[in-house]
């Protein structure tokens, strides 16, 4: 599976880091300018420390990069975390960065687009934008880890969401809450 991953300037970059480290697929990374700042502030990570987990890193300013064209097929684009500014641009049809252009490609080509929003509370404007994006085919996935596994550590809490995301992509084990009763 070929997955493009976008990291924006919203808080919650640890979820992106863990997704990159724990997901076995061909991953291509785009990090926005503010995504780099928040990534470093929250995790101490940088583009360089994430290189071992991806096939290639594209500059968010490079609108000639392969994900900017629908003629370059990929299986999914995961924006994790997605800032409300990025959501607004995508919902408005703006493709002024590689992240927003790749999202536009997903919408027009009907590729899987998963928007992992990590913001609270959400304004009515953002809720309307997310509703529109959902209608347009995006999967809206707030970073809200499942607690029915009763996580005992922050890592387990983060892994709960990463596992859920992997399942949505078809890469997880598919096991959910009380799965043994459903076998």
Task: pLDDT tens for the chain, 183 residues: list them.
Answer: 999 999 999 999 999 999 999 999 999 999 999 999 999 999 999 999 999 999 999 999 999 999 999 999 999 999 999 999 999 999 999 999 999 999 999 999 999 999 999 999 999 999 999 999 999 999 999 999 888 878 899 999 999 999 999 999 999 776 666 666 666
What pLDDT score does 176 carry?
A: 66
How far apart are alpha carbons 51 and 44 in whole angstroms?
14
What pLDDT score does 173 carry?
A: 75
Task: Quickly tell me which residue has 């997955």 as its tokens.
Answer: 3
How far apart are alpha carbons 163 and 23 in whole angstroms?
9
**How many domains, in total, are found in the chain?**
1
What pLDDT score does 148 carry?
A: 81
Q: Is residue 28 within 8 Å of 67, Cβ to Cβ?
A: yes
- Give CA separation, 25 vs 8, 150, 162, in Å: 21, 28, 14
Report the DSSP beta bridge partners of residue 56.
Answer: 28
What pLDDT score does 99 carry?
A: 98
Provide the domain limits for residue 14.
2-182
How far apart are alpha carbons 170 and 183 in whole angstroms?
18
Q: What is the 3-state secondary structure (H, E, C) of 70-127?
A: CCCCCCEEEEEEECHHHHHHHHCCCCCCHHHHHHHHHHHHCCEEEEEECCCCCCHHHH
The CATH number linked to 155 is 3.40.50.1950
What pLDDT score does 177 carry?
A: 64
């Amino acid at each position: 599976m070929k997955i493009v991953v976008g990291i924006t300037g919203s808080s919650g970059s640890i979820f992106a880091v863990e997704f990159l480290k724990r997901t076995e697929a061909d991953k291509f990374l785009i990090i926005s300018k503010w995504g780099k700042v928040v990534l470093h502030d929250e995790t101490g990570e940088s583009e360089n420390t994430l290189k071992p987990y991806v096939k290639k890193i594209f500059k968010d300013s490079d609108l000639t990069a392969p994900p900017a064209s629908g003629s370059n097929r990929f299986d999914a684009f995961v924006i994790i975390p997605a800032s409300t500014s990025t959501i607004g641009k995508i919902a408005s049809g703006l493709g002024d960065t590689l992240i927003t252009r790749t999202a536009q490609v997903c919408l027009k080509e009907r590729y899987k687009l998963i928007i992992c929003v990590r913001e609270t509370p959400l304004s009515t404007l953002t809720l309307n934008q997310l509703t529109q994006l959902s209608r347009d085919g995006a999967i809206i996935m707030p970073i809200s880890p499942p607690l029915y596994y009763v996580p005992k550590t922050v890592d387990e809490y983060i892994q709960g969401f990463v596992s859920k995301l992997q399942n949505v992509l078809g890469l997880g084990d598919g096991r959910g809450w009380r799965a043994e009763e459903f076998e």
